Amino acid sequence: MEEAARRALRRGRARLVAGLSPEPLWRPLQQRGLFTPTMVEELQSAGSRGEQARKLVIDLETRGKQAFPMFLSILRDTGQGDLADMLMEEYQGLPAAPQPVDLQPVQLDIHAEKHNKNVNFPERLPFLVQAKSERPRTPAVDKRNHDLVYELKADPCGRCLIINNVTFSRDSCLSPRDGSDVDCKKLEKRFKALRFDVLTRRNLPAQEMVSELQRLARRDHSALDCCIVVILSHGCQTSHIQFPGGVYGTDGTPIPIEKIVNYFNGSNCPSLRGKPKLFFIQACGGEQKDRGFEVDHDSPSDEAPEGSLESDAVPFQTPLGNGDEPDAVASLPTPSDILVSYSTFPGFVSWREVSSGSWYVETLDSVLEQHARSEDLLNMLLRVANAVSARGRYKQIPGCFNFLRKKFFFSCK
């Protein structure tokens, strides 16, 4: 299959997964020789309708030059012409492949051509693209190497769960997290603008946090391209294998970060396999307060007003019994397509102000507002770390554990 056809399939994959009905396609796919009966059986055993559609679209790229035009014809024959039209629009919107200098484009009636099932597409389709009038491109997106960038074509891009714990039970001995609602409102607005379906839950005890996270992980994400989890709470150090730290439910029970992350890994959440899963943790990694060290440059001191600065720290608590909970220490598959962004270095305090919220969320929101249209996520997180590290009398530096395989660019409205 030519590269332009592959790219058209990839750009349209989310819409195909969301709208394609695979069942009527099995017989014509075999009759036209695109797939053998054994291959079709494998596609049918892929799982849900969405998973079957996703595997079909991916496997189609390996079926030769005729696969793309035949697939368009089969879609129209089975009453799914709207998806065929969508793929043609994606194909026609791609830059034309370089042609020899003496080769002149053939002028065709695109609309008539698009519905002609008898056309030998592989010979004529490239000319179709050249004949199409040139239209504006999105510079930042089209110049990227698409093989090294996660594609976010679905709308919404994915789901975003925000757990905002502000008030804790008296028995927990944890203070109210004044200013966290400011953080929550900023992130709700920001991720909605970044085309995510946002769900916010406030003041959850540990078991309800676990239930909410598991509920999200069990949902079908086949038609979506990404998933985001944000935790705003008190935090602590915990024993860990992969991801350090823990966050508290409002009942004072800690949940290891790695337990939260692994609800969404490839084993536990199949519909998010190969898709970016982003976690943003505003919580302390411990109770150490960093006073920093002197440097010879002009970084702003930006001291916080006296009395308004609070931390989300809770002392390290050694788990009872034999150590970590069994599901936190069990053998886990190597994580992929996962990024966990922490507000502070493991073991250290994360600062929050009553009026403006936490340093980390305030800075993250500002960086996303200014740079989400042009920069990838890792570059923006460097900006966040640099800006937060320059603040205040006490110091704080955010960081991340990155297991993404590609660059991640948000798709803004």
Closest CA to 51 of 43, 62, 59: 43
Out of 157, 160, 284, 400, the active site residue is 284
* Helix axes of 359-371 and 180-193: crossing angle, nearest 10 degrees: 20
Whether 234 sits among the annotated catalytic residues: the reply is: yes
Q: Which one of 234, 236, 269, 400 is the catalytic residue?
A: 234
- Nearest Cα to Cα of residue 49 among 28, 79, 23: 23
Pair type for strands 357-358 and 338-342: unpaired
Amino acid of residue 250: T
How far is the C-alpha of 260 from the C-alpha of 277, rounded, in Å?
12
* Residue 284 designated active-site: yes
Q: Using an 8 Å Cβ cutoff, are 114 and 88 in contact?
A: yes
Q: Which residue numbers are catalytic?
A: 234, 284
